[in-house]
Amino acid sequence: MISATLTNLGNHLRQAAARRAYADVERITVTVRAVADEEARALPAGHPGLAEIASWLKELYKQAEILVRIGRAAQACELRRITFLQRYLPSVDRRAARVKLAL
């Protein structure tokens, strides 16, 4: 059985990945691994809970990876869009930067 702590951390990991908070994703991933490792060590060898924890971690990391990839693809698309739109912005008048007012 997956503990409430792991479930809560898994939800936080998915939320961080969805909001593109990559530093939080890294931090939470390390925390999830440490908590899962601690819970797995508490179980005796061959306990069915070990396989359940491993399966849950695999699924969680797969979901988080997908969310991170989607976020990065969306960011790349936004950057391409910005570059495209900058073509249509009025160009900066370089002469205005050199003009000095003599008062």
pLDDT tens digits, residue range 27-59?
A: 999 999 999 999 999 999 999 999 999 999 999
Question: What integer is the mean pLDDT of 67-74?
Answer: 93
pLDDT at 93 over 70: no
pLDDT of 17 over the 80 cut: yes
Short-list 36, 42, 31, CA closest to 56 = 36
Q: Which pLDDT does position 1 carry in this prediction?
A: 80
Q: How many angstroms separate the first and last alpha carbons of the chain?
A: 79
Going by pLDDT thresholds of 50, 70 and 90, the confidence category of residue 9 is: very high
Q: In terms of pTM, does the model score above 0.85?
A: no
